[in-house]
Structure formats: C-alpha cells, structure tokens
Amino acid sequence: MENAKKLALHRKRRQFVEALFRSKMSLVGLAILVFFVLMAFVGPLLYDYDHQEYGAGGMLEPPSKAFLLGTDDLGRDVLGELIHGAKTSLIVGVLATFISMVIGTVIGISSGYFGGRTDAFLMRVTDAFLVLPWLPLMLVLAALLGSSLWNIVVVIGVTSWAGTARLARAQTLSVKERQFVERARSIGAGHVYIMRKKILPNVFPLIFSNTVLVSAVAILSETTLSFLGMGDVLRPSWGMMLHYAFEAGAVSVGAYWFFVPPGVCIILLVLGFAFLGHSFDEILNPALRRR
C-alpha cells in the first residue's frame, strides 16, 4: 500500500514537471525569476557597491563607460543600486507571501472544516480585510510599526491573506465530504490530524499556485510603500529608487536612466511571477487543464 502511494506521488510529480516544461508561459516566467534570483544573490558578489557612498560620480550623469546606467541625484551608481535592490524586493515578496499563505491557509481550512459559527466568524473577518482599502491600511500599519524591512514584510503579509483564505475554504468544503475524511473520522482521528494529514495535502496545490500570484502583489505592495516614502532607507530597493527619482525630478529633467531601469525590473519580476502562477493554476486545476 505504501509503495503504491509512493509510486502514485512520484508519477504525479513527474507529470507536473513535464507539464511545466511544456508550457511556454511557465518557461518564460521561470527564466525571468532565475535571472532576478541570480541578480539578487550572485550579482552583489560580482559587483561591489555601497549605497551609502555618495559622490562616486557627478549628479545625474547619463550612462557612460564608468557608469553603465548613469548616476542618481547623489552621484551613486544606478547599476549597483539596481543589482543590490533586487535582493530587497525578492526577500519582501517571498517572506510576505509566506506569512500571507500561512494565515490564509489556517483560517480558510479551519473555516471550511468546522463550519457553523466558526465559519461565519472567520469569513466575516476575511470579508473585512477584503473590503478594506489595502493601501491606506498598509500605510497606517507601516506608520505605526515603523519603516524597517521586517515591519514592511509583516504589514504586507497580514493585509494580503484574505484571498488565500477564501480559496482554501472553498476547497476544504469540497474535500471534507470525501470518503477518506469520513473514514478518518470513523476511526477516531482528531480535528488537527484530519486537517493536517487529509485536507491540507488536497488543498495545497491550488493554494500554492495562488501563492505564486500573491508574490507579485507583495512585490508591488513593497514598491508602493517605498515609493510613498514608507520603505527602509537603510536598504536599497527598486521602490526607493523610484522614490528618490521622483523627489529629484528625474522625469522633468529627462534623467531616464534613473527611473526606467527599476521600473522595468519591477514589471518583469511581477510578470515572471504572474506567468508562473497562471501556469501552475492551469496544471494543477483539472477544469482549466481540460479547457
């Protein structure tokens, strides 16, 4: 029996990987993400840069041999700032998404499994987070907690879980009526065991595909907070680059090298997550796969 389960799991994994590499959209998304991961974690080792070192070049110098992407309003190398800012955006996106996924999964599965008053209460809380304007809520929380990197991660994580909770609840309502769940109840399995061992494995694939899409939202949220001046000034990020470019009037003076590169990087990274998330959704969702 155990060998049969292992073989079935291995077959599903192989089918998933094969479907992933057959999809052009997933390959493009994966290539974009691999590029930015290398840029974030290998780039700083190859390109030495100190974002607190001012005056390395002239103010708003255009691209040249010395500075391939020019300099900002403080004479700092834009290319160095771009490479080192990639790590901040990726860290915020991944960690905030993880917090969002954990909160949304716990609330969604608990709501769908227990039902009744528990379901009504948890869904009203979820509805409150869905209807609240997310930007003012994030700004208020960021102002209260402070604008450090970890506070921003927490703020984005606790304001973006509601969609995941709704998805987890909908799947749980379907899964909890299946025979293997009833069988586990009949032999005396506890609620926590059933939710963790029986329901979560069947709900997780769709939650995972949704989580990849949430990563794109988390990166955009970090960029928005940083652009509005709520980012961590001690860490370079693409959002802070756009904030400084706006303050320096880079658009009005035509210093395109200051604001275009971070903007393009943000768009490409979000597209990478979106492509990969939609591909996962098509592979893991039987209805979409048949269509």
Q: Which residue has the higher pLDDT, 284 or 89?
A: 89
Average pLDDT over residues 121-142: 85
Q: Is residue 247 part of a domain?
A: yes
Residue 286 confidence (pLDDT) above 70? no
On whether residue 258 sits in a domain, the answer given is: yes
Give the mean pLDDT of 133-140.
80
Residue 2 placed within a domain: no
Say which CATH number the domain at 126 has: 1.10.3720.10
> Total structural domains in the chain?
1
Q: According to the model, what pLDDT value does residue 264 have?
A: 93
Residue 7 resides in a domain: no
Average pLDDT over the chain, rounded to an integer? 83
Does the residue 26 lie in any domain? no
Inside any domain, residue 5: no
Domain boundaries, position 78? 34-290
- Taking each helix axis from N to C end, the angle separating 134-145 and 149-159, rounded to the nearest 10 degrees, works out to 150
Which range scores top for mean pLDDT: 6-20, 177-191, 238-252?
238-252
* Any domain includes 160: yes
The band of 205, judged by pLDDT with boundaries at 50, 70 and 90, is: confident
What is the spatial distance between Cα 77 and Cα 160, in angstroms, rounded to a whole number? 34
188: in domain: yes
Report pLDDT digits (tens) over 66-78: 888 888 888 888 8
Taking only the tens place, the pLDDT of each residue in 215-251 is: 888 888 888 888 888 877 778 889 888 988 888 888 8
- Which pLDDT value is given to residue 232? 77
Average pLDDT over residues 184-205: 84
Q: Match 């210093």 to its residue by tokens.
A: 255
